[in-house]
Structures are given as C-alpha cells and as structure tokens.
Amino acid sequence: MLRRALPRALGAVPCPRRRCHRPCPPRDLAVPNAAWSDRMRRHYGHLLSTATREGWTRLPSFRRAREHRHQVPWLAGDSDSDGAGDTRLFPRAIEGDGDGFEFAMFLNVPKGRLRCLCQPGPFLEGHPGLAHGGAIATLVDTSLGTLALAVAGRVVTANLSIDYLAPVPLRSVLLLEASLQRRQGRKLFLGCDLRDPDGDTLHARATGEGHGDRGTLGTRGHAAHQGHR
C-alpha cells in the first residue's frame, strides 16, 4: 500500500510493469528499438532529419494518457480515481518491443497534417501473417484523433470509415498520411491514406469525423485553422 502511495505522493510516475512500484520516468516509445526493421529505421531517420526544416514536430508517445499531461493537460484525466490506476493507451498496451504497434508520429499543425510511420507486430494478426483490420482501424483512429486533438482540443471520434484496399503483412512498414479536410462548427472532417512508403501500394483509405465538446471547437482551435471552418 505504502509502496504504491509514496511514489504518487512524491509526484513520480509508477513503473507501468505490474508489481513494480519503483518510480521511473515515462519512456518515450516513439523512438527506434531493437525490434524496428531496417526499413522502419530508414524512414524514421528520413522523417526526423527533414522534420524541422519542413515544419513537422515529432510527437513523443507514452504508455499512459496521463504521461502526455505536459502536452495536453486534460489527458491526465482522473484514471487514478478508479482505484486501479493502471490504465494504458490502447495502442501502447502490448508491452514487448515489436510485438504490437510500433509507431512514430510527426505533426504539422499549421498545415493540418500528421504522418504516422508504423510497423504492425505479430500480436496484431488477423488472417495468417496479415494485420487485423481492427488493428489498422486503431492506427487510423489514433492518428486522426491525435491530429484532431492537436488542432482543436478535446474531440471524440463520431464516425470512422475505412476502405481496406490491400492486405497489410505483419512486420511491414507503413506510412499513414492524415489531413484535416474541413471544419464545420464543432465538427472536424479528416482523412488519411495508408501506404507502403517504398512502393505504390495503397493499403487503406479512411475518413473520420471528430466532434468537439460543446464550446470547445472554435475557441481552442489553432489560429492557423480558421481557414478550415
């Protein structure tokens, strides 16, 4: 009891591994690890090296929503108040490096665009050797959701539509390119393509609609997006 309470009282983040309550800093999971393929590393290196010059920001990615509180204060939530306190962001719930969703996002708020480089791992299988459609939907929803959140504050997904155009092999490398298409009151309309970054295979095309809290959109949106209304 005390082992759990003390680190929290001191403001440290408990280790996400169950049964370990030593404080440790949140680990940024959107950086290369041993499970990233050479292709994944090459594309990541390219996106990173051109990011600043072209106005993109690499987004760190943590296991838990509240570990993003320095970027988005309300993501801290009140998950501690449920007594368990051991919540995870869904795409980061699989712990082994490379087993689940490996991804890194790059954001360009003024242009209303987000890029997500991803490598789906073996625990995301649907048909043998292929990524599950729900796993692809998770990558799409997380990317569109993050873009909506970055440009407009507190937004939930109201609608998501995905055309699955070509199967995605496990451990392949994909580049998701998302954009904000328009805004209408509290509604954001977004779209994305999911491609093989080295070839011309278009694996999926999706559209999504995000709705802001009443009173959120229009007041918290990024100034550069007034033109999307």
Return the active site residues. Answer: 141
Strands 57-59 and 113-120: unpaired
121 binds ligand PKZ (CB under 6 A): no
Q: How far apart are CA 70 and CA 61, in angstroms?
A: 12
Q: Which of 29, 124, 150, 217 binds ligand PKZ (CB under 6 A)?
A: 150
User: Which is closer to ligand PKZ, CB of 24 or CB of 160?
Assistant: 160
119 binds ligand PKZ (CB under 6 A): no
Q: Which of 64, 68, 113, 228 binds ligand PKZ (CB under 6 A)?
A: 68
67 binds ligand PKZ (CB under 6 A): no
Q: Smallest distance, Å, CB 213 to ligand PKZ? A: 8
211 binds ligand PKZ (CB under 6 A): yes
Q: How far apart are CA 59 and CA 211, in angstroms?
A: 23
- Determine contact, residues 107/47, Cβ cutoff 8 Å: no
Q: Which of 119, 142, 172, 179 binds ligand PKZ (CB under 6 A)?
A: 142
* Residue span binding ligand PKZ (CB under 6 A) among the ranges 64-72, 76-84, 115-123, 163-171: 64-72
Q: How far apart are CA 132 and CA 170, in angstroms?
A: 9
Residue numbers 78-117 binding ligand PKZ by CB under 6 A: 89
Residues 6+ apart with CB under 8 A from 115: 47, 56, 105, 106, 175, 176, 177, 178
Query: Can you name the residues that pair with 180 across neighbouring β-strands?
Result: 190
Q: How far apart are CA 150 and CA 153, in angstroms?
A: 6
**Contacts to ligand PKZ by CB under 6 A:** 59, 68, 71-72, 75, 89, 141-142, 145-146, 149-150, 156-159, 209, 211
